[in-house]
Amino acid sequence: MHKSWWKITAVVLLVYTIVGGFLMDVPRLFILNESIRNLYFHVSMWFTMMILFCVSLVYSIKYLRTQKYRNDVFASAFAGTGTFMGLLGYATGAVWANYTWVTDQGQSLSNILKEPKLLGAGIAILIYCAYFVLRGSFTDIDKRARVTAVYNIFAFAMLFPTIWIIPRLVGSLHPGAPGSESGNPALNFNDIDSRLRMVFYPAVLGWTLLAVWISTIKIRIKLLSDKSLL
């Protein structure tokens, strides 16, 4: 039981996130209104994605330094779960966009598809999908681990221009971005009052612990199947 405390914590935090996310009071921000509740899912999942990609990067660097196969397994598992969380974040963002941009603001589908942050996020996820395509193209285990470890470093570096830098330099439908008509910055902590913080911070921790849990299961399965290589 003492080894599973963090798993129990993950379950408790996610139950709290779902219940509190839908039932607790939230501030009525301009345009966002009740849809601000998606902060606990969309934004939290993207935070989790970034954390897991950071962990994957660390293990890729460790593999290049030590050439230990175990580090490659860890890097691949965390990158896979991070990509999965990124896809969930993209999907919940699409739902959010439908209610704030289409329903409330009357934006056309063509404008939404050209939205810089959506394009950047899509490119970032595709770059990590290519990581797994690259892994599947090698039959030699050592060469696969070396090449994909280098690619993982490149993929992580590409997150910053595609998600954080370029979308902030051009016009965007996202609230608070240059060229947006109105609204609040996506993570302006002046707008995230105590009601949002009570759920948002536990949500980030809960989704992260769940993602780590999934990754550890994948790692154990992979290490058992490749036991002879270790």
Report whether 42 contacts 21 (CB < 8 A). no
Going from the C-alpha of 210 to that of each of 160, 171, 199, the distances in angstroms are: 24, 35, 16
User: How distant is the alpha carbon of residue 168 from its chain centre?
Assistant: 18
In a domain, 16, yes or no: yes
Band (182; pLDDT cuts 50, 70, 90): very low
Cα separations in angstroms, 117 against 27, 41, 169, 200: 24, 17, 11, 21
**What is the predicted pLDDT for the residue at 181?**
44
The residue length of the chain stands at: 230
SS3 92: helix
Domain assignment present for 167: yes
Cα dihedral: 75, 81, 83, 88 (round 10): -170
Within its chain, how far is the Cα of 24 from the centroid? 24
Domain region containing 186:
5-29+41-229
**What confidence tens digit (pLDDT) does each residue in 77-134 have?**
999 999 999 999 998 888 887 777 655 555 555 555 567 778 888 899 999 999 999 9
Residue 35 within any structural domain of the chain: no
| Residue whose tokens read 């379950």 | 11
134 in any annotated domain: yes
Q: Is residue 34 a part of any domain in this protein?
A: no
Q: How many domains does the chain have?
A: 1
Q: Is residue 176 part of a domain?
A: yes
Does residue 173 lie within any of the structural domains?
yes
Residue 207, number of CB atoms within 10 A of its CB: 26
User: Is 59 inside a domain boundary?
Assistant: yes
* Neighbour count for residue 175 (Cβ, 10 Å): 19
